[in-house]
Structures are given as C-alpha cells and as structure tokens.
C-alpha cells in the first residue's frame, strides 16, 4: 500500500503495456501518472510533494486494491494447471 508515481515508457520504445497498466491504475485511483515527454524537475517535485502530503489518501485507496490472499490464489491456479496437464 505504498503511494506511487508511475512514469510509463512511451509507446515508441515499448509495446504499450506500461501505458495501459498506468492508465488502469490511474483510472482506478491507485496511482498518479506522469508522461515521460512532459516530465521535468518542477513537475516531478510538485507531484512527489502532492503524493507525499496526501499519502493517507493514497494508502486508503491502495488498501482496496488486489487480493489479500494473492499468494494462495496463485498457488491454487498453478496446482490446477498442473492437474489439467496430467
């Protein structure tokens, strides 16, 4: 549940999945997103201060994200996949 700032690689140097993931996290209210081509020291500093000063807000939002039993779910899926192979 750590507040975060995402700076996805632009589509020109990636498959675009980082952009999609960042957009999902932003639209769900889990992350602040900055575009690399718009990034400068002033914007980054301001955004870090903003996220840090509102960290309890971000922590609350992030606490609702994901599964608390993610490891158990992953293990269960692996075991099911292995059983299907047999």
Residue pLDDT, tens place only, 72-81 = 888 999 999 9
* Predicted model pTM: 0.67
Tens digits of per-residue pLDDT, 42-64?
999 999 999 899 888 888 887 77
For the chain, the domains span 5-85
Q: What is the average per-residue pLDDT within 22-36?
A: 90
Q: What is the mean pLDDT of the chain?
A: 87
Q: How many Å apart are CA 45 and CA 7, to the nearest integer?
A: 14
């Amino acid at each position: 549940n750590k507040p975060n700032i995402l700076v996805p690689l632009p589509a020109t140097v990636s498959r675009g999945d980082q952009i999609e993931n960042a957009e999902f996290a932003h639209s769900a209210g889990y992350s602040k997103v900055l575009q690399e081509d718009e990034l400068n020291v002033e914007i980054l500093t301001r955004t870090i201060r903003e996220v840090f000063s509102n960290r309890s807000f971000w922590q609350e939002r992030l606490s609702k994200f994901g599964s608390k039993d993610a490891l158990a779910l992953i293990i269960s899926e692996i075991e099911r996949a292995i059983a299907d192979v047999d």
